[in-house]
Structure 1
Amino acid sequence: MSLTTKELSNTRLEGNSKIKSKTWIQIKRNYELYLFLLPVVLLYLVFRYYPMYGVQIAFKDFTPSKGIWGSEWVALEHFIRFFESYNFWAIIKNTLSLSFLSLLFGFPTPIIVALMLNQITAKRYKKFVQTVIYAPHFISVVVLVGMLNVFLSPNSGMVNHIITLFGGEPILFMADSGWFRPLYILSGIWQETGFATIIYLAALAGVSPELHEAAIMDGASKWKRILNVDIPGILPTIIILLVLALGNIMSVGFEKAFLMQSDLNYDTSNILPTYVYEQGIQKAQYSFSAAIGLFNSVINIILLFVVNRVAKKLTETSLW
């Protein structure tokens, strides 16, 4: 005997009410956990979502005296102005070059270090190496750039002293545009490899020892066990971190690039974040800089969805 439309709707309403009641029962039962989550939720609402209200100035000719709502609507004028500017392609090229090179050399390094540390049997030596490579993570960017200035100084820097000792000429590392990218990338690898290594070591700890025992019984060497046991075991972690890294390919660290920037290396150090600072803070072109920042964010979101979809199709591992 078939149910009428009214009976079906009543059944659905009853089912939905039961689900809601069960949800509220779960919330009441575990309210302490939700209270722990509350500060994080409030933090994101205040500092991540509420500022989105101001994104609309990218489509307006913002005037502080008129406010956001009172400013004149100009639609895509600021975006077109940025796309037609003489240095648009230079800025995009500098940003992408720095991002891709940092990813190319910086992403595999912690994986290699983690695989090497995982093979070390001496626990004290392993802990010592972990501490040494992890310590630079706690150094602030300002201190890091200060160290670069001290060590690479053409007059008193240790590196140039070694160069002159072997008969070479002092190099103006911090003022040479050709040295900006290598210094940025190498200093980033030195500072962040230790932190990323911990993530991969944790993933390696989850690899079943029985797989290694079976590989040893089959006569596999350490190198073959790394290739056929360790790397497949941490592959999902590698893919997830790679998707996140590619999704932020346009978001180069502003602080270090800005601190390393000078008039002499401006042609390679002028990237999107520093250009936004220059236009928005130094020149007070708030709407124009907001449009550039929004363009940057939209590109990152598109890349994140595309890379995540490709990773899901090829490896069945993705963020969602």
Structure 2
Amino acid sequence: MKHADMNVKLRRKRIIKQNIPLMAMFLPVILFYLVFKYIPMLGLVIAFKDYNFFDGIVGSEWVGFKHFKYLFENAHTRDIIYNTMLLSCLRVFLSFPFPILLAIMLNEARRLWFKKAVQTLVYLPHFLSWIIVGGIVVTVFAEQSGVVNGLMKLTGLPSYAFLYHEVPWMSIFIGSSIWKEAGFSAIIYLAALTMIDPSLYEAANMDGAGKWRKIWHVTLPGIRPTIVLMLILSMGHVMEVGFDHVYVMQNQVVSQVSEVISTYIFKIGLQGANFSVTAAMGLFESLIGIILVAVTNRIARAFDQGLW
């Protein structure tokens, strides 16, 4: 028995020794997440304190759930939470199918030069900053000098302030998000499409299935695990509209729908130095994200497609 235990210990030591180079390579990654991801979480304690610079985190007065009560009792912050959920849900559910459709269309393209050209065009917007995208949006939809209003004037139609009305602003916001990210997100689905067994398409051909039936019965079921995985991950960002996207497009006229958690944290927390309230808002945002991921994964598990 002792001899067997000795062999197990020697085997473990041998495995550890063989993997020392890999562990050394992984160490910077661990340090990165510890220093920049996990240790800063300790600062969330200021959500339960009246934090100020002079007393510091330790010396600031403990106030419990005071700031959380303020968030939910204040009509303005409730509107901000509602705007965040509305814009983010619209963006997630309206933009989610586009990368899938784009990947399927690219996969069905038979001309290699055409496929490469389209891929380049649809991937390119991802590498543009939201400052550039915001400038493009203003150039296209501006009331006086915008391209769209210019075309409308040529046809005899009156100009329209697209960026100063709530519904058109929301539509442009969602559309610009789809235009910027759909192409790059399609890469994941294109990779998943390469894993589908070609014999399934051959069997479908022998059964007389057309293009649409092969997509519906072979392609989509083949990438279903990837679709579920991406949906679960996207649900974790339902409360994160993104600061730069909203900030470069918002204006005071549409502030009732464009003021979201990220811009609120910037204005109240960084510019107004009210760190405790914005820390409470950020913690609430993260908790909702975790709950949505867990619920979505639980639903996916019912169909044997859960992430864990």
Q: Give 1:102-117 correspondences, 5 Å limit.
A: 102-117=91-106
Aligned equivalents of 2:295, 2:76: Cα separation in 1: 27
Alignment match of 2:199 (pick from 182, 196, 210): 210
Aligned equivalents of 1:220, 1:88: Cα separation in 2: 54
Counterpart of 1:223 in structure 2 is: 212
User: CA offsets per residue over residues 266-306 of structure 1, 9 Å max, x none?
Assistant: 00001111112221012111101100110111111111111
What SS class does the counterpart of residue 75 from structure 2 fall into? coil
Counterpart of 2:270 in structure 1 is: 281
Counterparts in 2 of 1:22 and 1:318: CA distance versus 1, 3 Å: farther
- The residue type paired with residue 238 of structure 1 is I
Alignment match of 1:89 (pick from 75, 78, 95): 78
Aligned equivalents of 2:240, 2:146: Cα separation in 1: 31
Aligned equivalents of 1:57, 1:14: Cα separation in 2: 55
- The residue type paired with residue 261 of structure 1 is Q
Counterpart of 1:318 in structure 2 is: 306
> Please, which runs of 5 or more residues in structure 1 have no aligned partner?
1-12
Percent of residue pairs identical: 43
Q: Give 1:302-317 correspondences, 5 Å limit.
A: 302-313=291-302, 315-317=303-305
Counterparts in 2 of 1:234 and 1:71: CA distance versus 1, 3 Å: same
Is 2:18 the counterpart of 1:29?
yes
User: CA offsets per residue over residues 131-162 of structure 1, 9 Å max, x none?
Assistant: 11111111011111111112222222211101
Counterpart of 1:200 in structure 2 is: 189
Counterpart of 1:122 in structure 2 is: 111
Conserved 8 A contact 1:102-1:185: yes
Alignment match of 1:176 (pick from 139, 157, 165): 165
User: CA offsets per residue over residues 43-91 of structure 1, 9 Å max, x none?
Assistant: 1111111111111000000010111000000000000011100223322
What's the RMSD between the two structures over aligned residues? 2.0
Conserved 8 A contact 2:44-2:279: yes
Aligned residues: 308
Counterparts in 2 of 1:276 and 1:23: CA distance versus 1, 3 Å: farther
- C-alpha displacement at 1:14, in angstroms? 11
Counterparts in 2 of 1:161 and 1:293: CA distance versus 1, 3 Å: same
Counterpart of 1:7 in structure 2 is: none
Counterparts in 2 of 1:238 and 1:81: CA distance versus 1, 3 Å: same
Conserved 8 A contact 1:62-1:71: yes
Conserved 8 A contact 1:203-1:234: yes
Counterparts in 2 of 1:34 and 1:230: CA distance versus 1, 3 Å: same
Counterpart of 2:178 in structure 1 is: 189
- The residue type paired with residue 201 of structure 1 is L
With normalisation by structure 1, the TM-score equals: 0.91
- C-alpha displacement at 1:27, in angstroms? 3.0
Conserved 8 A contact 1:247-1:307: no
- The residue type paired with residue 316 of structure 1 is D
Aligned equivalents of 1:177, 1:118: Cα separation in 2: 37
With normalisation by structure 2, the TM-score equals: 0.95
Alignment match of 1:44 (pick from 33, 43, 50): 33
Aligned equivalents of 1:18, 1:298: Cα separation in 2: 47
Aligned equivalents of 1:18, 1:140: Cα separation in 2: 57
- The residue type paired with residue 199 of structure 2 is E
What SS class does the counterpart of residue 159 from structure 2 fall into? coil
Counterparts in 2 of 1:196 and 1:24: CA distance versus 1, 3 Å: farther
- The residue type paired with residue 22 of structure 2 is L
Q: Bigger shift: 147-156 or 64-73?
A: 147-156
Aligned equivalents of 1:53, 1:282: Cα separation in 2: 22
Counterparts in 2 of 1:61 and 1:164: CA distance versus 1, 3 Å: same
Counterpart of 2:60 in structure 1 is: 71
